[in-house]
Chains A and B, each alone.
Chain A
Amino acid sequence: MTETRVFEGTESGFATTKFEALLNWAKKYSLFQYPFVTACCGMEFMSMASPRFDMARFGAEAPRFSPRQADLLWVVGTISQRQAPALRRIYEQMADPKWTLAFGTCASCGGFYDNYTTLAGIDKVIPCDVYVPGCPPRPEAVLDGLLLLQDKIQRGDRTPAIVKPRTDPVPRAKELVSTERLRLGPRAVEPKSKP
């Protein structure tokens, strides 16, 4: 909400913003989700909903097992050709505004099941907003995808997005030097001046 401006000086203060931005802000933190869980990724979905990763921190904890009450469709797992009509029907039952998140490689592109029975990605049947690769993706990656989706909702952007792989947060050599400097003081790691 970069457009928001806060005026102070009166007793309570007030803020101005665009109505659209306010609406989007409200939408992104109140996502009611419908988990369409079919396969292996469901195991990671359980983990993500459970206390350690705790999806509830991001305003998306309320599962609705009726598509009519849901905003966000999680497609968790492989979708077979037999399952595809059911998936499309569920998507059509959802009320606007609605978003879709493909959880895992199978939902994104079919994964390594390149065969007669597997649908090569849910975007062959329904539109998809965010793709989270991984087989199954780690819960951190999925949370990343959720944040990406919230960002997209705030911006009103409907182009599909993919969660990018991230490197481990291991300090790089440069950062190591700076932490070393913190610990030992500036002189310890200063390069020796040339004679």
Chain B
Amino acid sequence: MEPLDQDLEEGELELPAEPMMLNMGPSHPAMHGTVRIVVELSGETITKADVQIGYLHRGFEKMCERGTWTQCYPYVDRLNYVSPMLNNVGFSLAVEKMLGITVPERAQYYRVALGELARICDHLTCNGAMAMELGAFTPFLWYVRAREMIWDIFEEETGARVTHSFGRVGGMAKPPTAYFKDLVRATLPRVASVVAESEGLLLKNRIFLDRLESVGKISSADALELSWTGPCLRSTGVPYDIRRAHPYLVYDRFEFDVPVGTTGDNYDRFMCRQEEIRQSMRILEQCLEQMPDDGPIDVDDPRIVMPPKNEVYNTIEGTIQHFKIVMEGIKVPAGEVYSYTEGGNGELGFYLVSDGSGTPYRVRIRPPCFAITQGLERLIVGAMIPDVVPTFGSMNMIGGECDH
């Protein structure tokens, strides 16, 4: 019906007053391809929102029940694919907690170093992608360039650019290469300069600031109630960092600050991540300083760690040991454990149940972005449609982890 063709009263010329329903996603460029938000609009203001996840549910937990403990690593890698090494380390620590073993000191430093490199990648990607979604394409390219530098290190160390599957129960797949320290030391200043330059591009840009500041605000009480962790919780002023609160590996030997925000808006989340990149670099410098240059990388336990290749080929003990670990898997004592580490987005927990065989009975991940994404609804109700993009971007929702 064409309202203007008819002879109507003045008041009837207005548009219908029913709320408008709008779908954002799952193929919306700012929704990372995996989230659908059904919003109810009054004008351009969101009155109601329903966040629907699950478009990247890949059955990680079910798949892990089918292989050995070691075969979980590739799946664990692809949970938070922005920082796979942190997942590797978290899962290794969880299984080792059940086995009651501690990896040698060199492996602990190595895990910290690789983990912190992955954390830098995570924050770089999050901030870069958020900038891109707000129209700032150049900083995104710069951030990706900085990320490539770090990926070069990963490629040298692990052989893979993104999904490394490098962790093992009781150590790492390979000892660090001879030039690991030099590589990292040479790369970090370059990354730092790129980050500083991009920050200069963004933080003097009025449009960027206007879309971040006091948008998507959350109070610390609300964030705690929604069980937020990580940079998103810290941006509201709660200094909860698992590396500080429950130090694992060798984090208690390093000096670093836990950056906190004040208001909990998008700007604070952005800046928390920026600052954490610098803190990670600080940790890395100290870590490389203290890391021993030689020493074992795996625990000395033939039931857990694979024998060296020449032993497998030349001795019968080595062959049997290799066969047992590959075919039956590592025998983890029956029981259950909850292990937690600081992932890129917050508390990355693994709740494992073992029945004493070589196959996990239940692998449960506590994904940090799952809890964070459930707060999205609260943040965007009452806001405008364009505010959804920076708010969602600053939460760093990772599909693989959030949807399991």
Interface residues in chain A, defined as those with a beta carbon under 8 Å from any beta carbon in chain B:
36-40, 42-44, 46-47, 50-52, 65, 77-78, 80, 82-83, 86, 90, 112-113, 115-118, 135-136, 138
Q: Which residues of B contact A38 (CB under 8 A)?
A: 32-34, 55-56, 399
* A residues near B147, Cβ cutoff 8 Å: 47
Q: Is B190 an interface residue (CB 8 A)?
A: no
Q: How far is the CA of A51 from the CA of B141 in the complex (A)?
A: 7
Main secondary structure of the interface of A (DSSP, over half): loop
Measured CB to CB, the closest approach of chain A to B229, in angstroms, equals: 23
Given the complex, which residues of B lie within 8 Å of A78, measured CB to CB?
A: 56, 58
* CB-CB under 8 A for A86 and B78, given A39-B399, A51-B145: no
The answer for the CA separation of A178 and B250 in the assembled complex, in Å, is 52
The answer to whether A43 and B81 touch across the interface, beta carbons within 8 angstroms, is: yes
Once A47-B148, A115-B62 are accepted as A-B contacts, the answer to whether A36 and B56 lie under 8 Å apart by CB is no
Residues on A with beta carbons closer than 8 Å to the beta carbon of B125: 43, 46
Whether B144 is near chain A, meaning CB under 8 Å from some CB there, is yes
Contact of A50 among B55, B81, B148, B399 (CB under 8 A): B148
- Separation of A15 and B301 alpha carbons in the complex (Å): 74
Q: List 7 A-B contacts (CB under 8 A).
A: A36-B33, A37-B33, A38-B56, A40-B400, A47-B147, A80-B57, A136-B163
- B55 touching A83, Cβ below 8 Å: yes
A66 to nearest B CB, angstroms? Answer: 10
Question: What distance in Å separates the Cβ of B324 from its nearest Cβ neighbour in chain A?
Answer: 23
Q: Is B29 an interface residue (CB 8 A)?
A: yes
Q: Which residues of B contact A116 (CB under 8 A)?
A: 59, 62
Residues of B within 8 A of A77 (CB): 33, 56
Does B162 sit at the interface, judged by CB under 8 A? yes
Known: A38-B33, A46-B125, A113-B63. A82 touches B54 (CB 8 A): yes
A40 touches B74 (CB 8 A): no
A113-B58 contact in complex given A38-B399, A47-B144, A50-B145, C-beta closer than 8 Å: yes
Q: Which residues of A contact B62 (CB under 8 A)?
A: 115-116
Asked if B161 and A44 sit within 8 Å, CB to CB, the answer is yes
Q: Which residues of A contact B58 (CB under 8 A)?
A: 39, 78, 80, 113, 115, 117-118
Complex Cα gap A44–B81 (Å): 10
Of the four ranges (under 10, 10 to 19, 20 to 34, 35 or more), the interface on chain B belongs to 20 to 34
Distance between Cα atoms of A77 and B55 in the complex (Å): 11
Which residues of the partner chain A approach B75 to less than 8 Å between Cβ atoms? Answer: 112
Per the bound structure, the CA–CA distance linking A82 and B56 in Å amounts to 8
Q: Which residue of A lies closest to B403 (CB)?
A: A80
B53-78 residues with Cβ-Cβ distance < 8 A to A are 54-59, 62-63, 74-75, 78
Q: Which residues of the other chain, B, contact A50 by a CB distance below 8 angstroms?
A: 140-141, 144-145, 148
Q: Does B175 contact A (CB under 8 A)?
A: no
- A42 to B75 alpha-carbon distance, docked (Å): 17
State A115–B162 Cα separation when bound (angstroms): 23
Asked whether any CB of chain A lies closer than 8 Å to the CB of B237, the reply is: no
Find out whether the CB atom of A37 lies under 8 angstroms from the CB atom of B144.
no
Partner of B27, one of A43, A51, A86, A135: A86
Chain A residues closer than 8 Å to B32, beta-carbon distance: 37-38, 42
A179–chain B nearest beta-carbon distance, Å: 25
Query: Within 8 Å of chain A (Cβ to Cβ): is B304?
Result: no
- Look across to chain A and name the residue whose beta carbon is closest to the beta carbon of B28: A65
| B307 in the interface (beta carbon within 8 A) | no
Given contacts A38-B33, A50-B141, A78-B56, 19 further A-B contacts (CB under 8 A): A36-B27, A38-B56, A39-B56, A39-B58, A40-B78, A46-B129, A46-B144, A47-B151, A50-B140, A52-B145, A77-B33, A80-B55, A86-B55, A90-B27, A116-B59, A117-B58, A136-B161, A136-B163, A138-B161
C-alpha spacing A38/B151, complex, angstroms: 21
A-B contact count (CB 8 A): 94
Residues of A within 8 A of B399 (CB): 38-39
- In angstroms, Cα B145 to Cα A50, docked, is 7
* Least CB distance, B25 to chain A, in whole angstroms: 9
- Whether the pair B59, A43 counts as a contact (CB closer than 8 A) is no
Residues of B within 8 A of A90 (CB): 27
Find out whether the CB atom of A117 lies under 8 angstroms from the CB atom of B162. no
Q: How far is the CB of B75 from chain A (nearest CB, A)?
A: 8
Per the 8 Å Cβ criterion, residues 78-110 of B in contact with A are 78, 81-82
Question: Which of B29, B54, B58, B62 has the largest number of chain A CB atoms within 10 A?
Answer: B58
Task: Return A35 CB to nearest CB of chain B, in Å.
Answer: 8
Give the residue name and chain of the B residue nearest to A34 (CB): B27
- Across the A-B interface, give the 10 residue pairs with the lowest CB-CB distance, nearest first: A40-B81, A50-B144, A115-B59, A38-B33, A65-B29, A37-B33, A117-B59, A83-B55, A113-B58, A117-B57
CA A84 – CA B32 in complex, angstroms? 16
Shortest Cβ distance from A40 into B: residue:
B81
B26 within 8 A of A: yes
Chain A residues whose CB sits within 8 angstroms of the CB of B29 once the complex forms: 65
What is the CA–CA distance of A56 and B399 in the complex, to the nearest angstrom? 27
Q: What residues of A have a CB within 8 angstroms of the CB of B56 in the complex? A: 38-39, 77-78, 80, 83
Contacts of B81 in A (CB 8 A): 39-40, 42-43
A152 to B54, CA, bound (A): 36
Q: Give the distance to chain B from A33, nearest Cβ to Cβ, in Å.
A: 12
